[in-house]
Amino acid sequence: MKQTEFLKTVMPFKDKVFRLAKRLLVSTEEAEDATQELFFKLWKNKGKLSNYKSVEAFAMTMTKNYCFDRLKSKQASNLSLVHSNYQEKGTSLDRRVELNDSVSKVHELIENLPEQQKLIIQLRDVEQYEFDEIAKMLNIKPTAVRVTLSRARKTIKEQLLKQHNYGVS
């Protein structure tokens, strides 16, 4: 596989790999490192990529595994918690602060979900993968993906409602 063919194969899902790494590792710098490491590994094994039915699914699985390994390593204690701020033009300062608080709260709630739920909500709601694709990536049944996603969404919704209705964090 030549460089141009490799780039044509892997570049379409580069942003998805980064977003998944960022969701799992939180830090932008760590996510960039994870993305770079993944593409280096794919390049080293470029001859074997044709053996995979979906190179994208394979890359997402590799990203997930790499991120989990990073989080388990000793260096994980050095990972910093950084959230990007949501900004909308033309809104008042009060409204922007309120929106930022809501987005931050949702990010916080997602971060507090169990790993499986966090991963599935990222793959489905952010990356827009189909249930069957997620099931293959995580080696579980599509029904389990649906149930896990439903539970994750329900947990987030309940926590948000509790916060908004009662001011409880």
Half-sphere exposure of 5 (CA within 13 A, CB side): 6
Domains and CATH numbers, the chain: 9-80 (1.10.1740), 93-169 (1.10.10.10)
Digit-coded pLDDT (tens) for 38-90: 999 988 888 888 888 888 888 999 998 888 888 887 555 555 444 444 444 55
User: 89 by DSSP, 3-state: which?
Assistant: coil
To the nearest whole number, what is the mean pLDDT of the chain? Answer: 82
Element (H, E) at 54: none
Asked if pLDDT for residue 142 goes beyond 90, the answer is: yes
* Per-residue pLDDT band at 7 (split at 50, 70, 90): confident
- Residues 37 and 28: their CA atoms lie apart, in Å, by 14
Phi–psi pair at 167, nearest 5 degrees? 70, 20
pLDDT tens per residue across span 79-118: 544 444 444 455 666 667 766 677 777 888 888 999 999 9
Sorted by sequence, the CB contacts under 8 Å of residue 55 that are 6+ apart come out as 9, 10, 42, 49
